[in-house]
Chains A and B, each alone.
Chain A
Amino acid sequence: MKLAFFPGCSAKSSGMEYAKSSLELMKKLGLEIACPEFNCCGTHIVEEYNKNIWLALNARNLSLAEEIGADIVTTCPACYQNLKKTNLELGDEKVLEDVNSVLASVNREYRGSVSVFHVIEVLSKLSRKIAVESRLKVAAYYGCQILRPPELGIDDNIENPTVFENFLKNAGFEVVDFKAKTECCGGPLLLTDSDAFKKRALTIVLEAKKAGADCITTLCPLCQFSLEVVQDKMPVRPFTSLILENLASQISE
């Protein structure tokens, strides 16, 4: 399976560590990864500003992967959701035709053949085993957009997902029972109400502490940002960085 790596804007700027470690880990695991010049997914902000621009931005990204015969793998749950939502909407032939008339302005076309995955989906399905050597008690934090809304989330139990914990346990981490794992980090509130943002992010950190965690691990660059800028007592690590830092030895078949 060929994959086109879509870090997303956040994982390219403040969340750079997450993008770098994801790419490194996937390559170590022998995956064939390409890095086309993707644009911003626009997220709900551009979608609400102008739906057709949002559709075309995402269709352009999908067309870049299609051009090289790849599916997309992304580190960012928001990009994941936007790309998947676009794919759903482009299932309507008329919408696809309209989008392609816009993409013609940049000499591109999308035919609708690309699937979109999050890094955790790709890594958790691999048969090659990742083994870590660590005594860390880890709180696995999902946040929101990897799960919700249900029509766009990963294939797991929406109320009590387990794919992330199971993946970390299989790798050799001790994973704590973390009640706030699917609560919101408050990230978007950073732009509209920073007091509420801080309050929210701290609540998540305190819940992890209560659960007995030594560290929180994230799979979203925005959650990573939120949880680590509001405090410096509890370590917060992107899950791919956490794995690379604690890798036992060579990855076995």
Chain B
Amino acid sequence: MKCYQCGTCTADCTYANIDESGNFNPRRMMLDYFEKGKLSELCWLCAECFKCYRCPRDVKPYAVLAEMRAEFIKKGKVPAYVKAFVETVKNYGELDETAFFLKLMKSGNMMDMSIVISSLKNTLKNRGISKAIALPKKSPCAGEVSRIFSAVEGKDKVKLEAEEKSRSIAAAGVPA
């Protein structure tokens, strides 16, 4: 393990500095992950500020937390906002904010309404009524983006099936 437990990442961490409970501790999360392979749900609270780049051992804590989130997703534990984000991009080609907020609301994972209201006020100020209450709109590139998703997902499926097949052959004791 490269990390020598100095805690610089945690001292610099934006979220650790807001979190009064003291539970959010990237150093400890990484120790548990490296030593016990334990994933902490807290990794979803990372603010993506990259302050932990100052790591003297160049462990890149931000990348370790990203790896933890990717592991959760692989295990099928996908937070509602991630699902809403990915589905919006897949269907609209872009992160259409109206579509994204609607999906979030539907999933019950809603952010603070006062923020949504002030955001709407801000949009009204910038764009006028007709565009502020915009209906979700697909980008002209939406078709290409969906095809890219299908192409990768198709390849992943083939790869997964091949892996499963070789595993079952190995389990049956047949030489490959």
In the assembly, what is the distance between CA of A191 and CA of B66, in Å? 16
Using Cβ atoms and an 8 Å threshold, which residues of chain B touch A126? none
Nearest B residue (CB) for A104: B151
Within 8 A of A (CB), among B47-105: 47-51, 53, 60, 62, 66, 69-70, 73, 78-79, 81-82, 85-86, 89, 93-98, 104
Complex contact B86–A106 (CB within 8 A): no
Whether B147 is near chain A, meaning CB under 8 Å from some CB there, is: yes
With a cutoff of 8 Å between Cβ atoms, the chain B residues found around residue A53 in the complex are 148-149, 152-153
Interface flags for A196-219 (1: CB within 8 Å of B; 0: not) read: 111110000000000000000000
B interface: dominant SS: helix
B:147-165 near A, CB below 8 Å? 147-153, 155-156
> Given A14-B123, A56-B148, A105-B147, is A48 in contact with B95 using a C-beta cutoff of 8 Å?
no
A17 on the B face (CB < 8 A): yes
**Is residue B119 within 8 Å, beta carbon to beta carbon, of the partner chain?**
yes
Q: Which residues of A contact B89 (CB under 8 A)?
A: 39-40, 42, 46, 57
Residues of A within 8 A of B62 (CB): 149
Would you call A196 and B15 a contact (CB within 8 A)? Answer: yes
With both chains docked as a complex, state the minimum distance between the C-beta of A220 and any C-beta of chain B, in angstroms.
Answer: 12
- B145 pairs with A39, CB closer than 8 A: yes
B15 and A148 contact, CB distance less than 8 A: no
A229 within 8 A of partner (CB): yes
Q: How far is the CB of B107 from chain A (nearest CB, A)?
A: 11
Q: Is the Cβ of A200 less than 8 Å from the Cβ of B18? A: yes
Our pick among B70, B118, B140 for the contact of A229 (Cβ within 8 Å) is B118
Q: Which of B51, B66, B119, B144 has the most CB atoms of chain A within a 10 A radius of its CB?
A: B144
Residue of B nearest to A18 (CB): B126
Distance between B33 CB and nearest chain A CB, rounded to angstroms: 15
- Whether A92 is near chain B, meaning CB under 8 Å from some CB there, is no
Cβ contacts under 8 Å, A196 to chain B: 15, 18-19, 45
Q: How many residues of B contact A (CB 8 A)?
A: 56
CA–CA, A190 and B53, complex, Å: 22
Docked CA distance A199–B104 (Å): 22
B48 and A14 contacting across the interface, CB-CB below 8 Å: no
Q: Is A145 an interface residue, CB under 8 A from the partner?
A: yes
Binds B, one of A24-32, A109-117, A181-189: A181-189
Task: Establish whether residues B86 and A45, one from each chain, have CB atoms under 8 Å apart when the complex forms.
Answer: yes
Interface flag for B14 (CB, 8 Å):
yes
Known contacts: A44-B66, A188-B48. The answer to whether A37 contacts B140 by CB under 8 A is yes
CA A186 to CA B45, docked complex, whole Å: 11
A133 to B123, CA, bound (A): 27
The reply to whether B151 and A148 contact each other, CB–CB distance below 8 Å, is: no
Q: Which residue of A lies closest to B92 (CB)?
A: A40
B108 to chain A, nearest CB (A): 13
Question: Residues of B contacting A198 with CB < 8 Å?
Answer: 112, 115
Question: Which A residues touch B15, using CB under 8 A?
Answer: 189, 196
Provide the bound-state CA to CA distance between A9 and B149, in Å.
18
Could you list 24 A-B pairs, sorted by A, with CB under 8 Å?
A9-B97, A14-B119, A37-B140, A39-B139, A40-B93, A40-B95, A40-B145, A46-B86, A48-B82, A49-B70, A49-B73, A49-B78, A53-B148, A56-B148, A56-B152, A148-B51, A184-B47, A189-B15, A193-B45, A194-B111, A200-B47, A225-B119, A225-B122, A230-B118
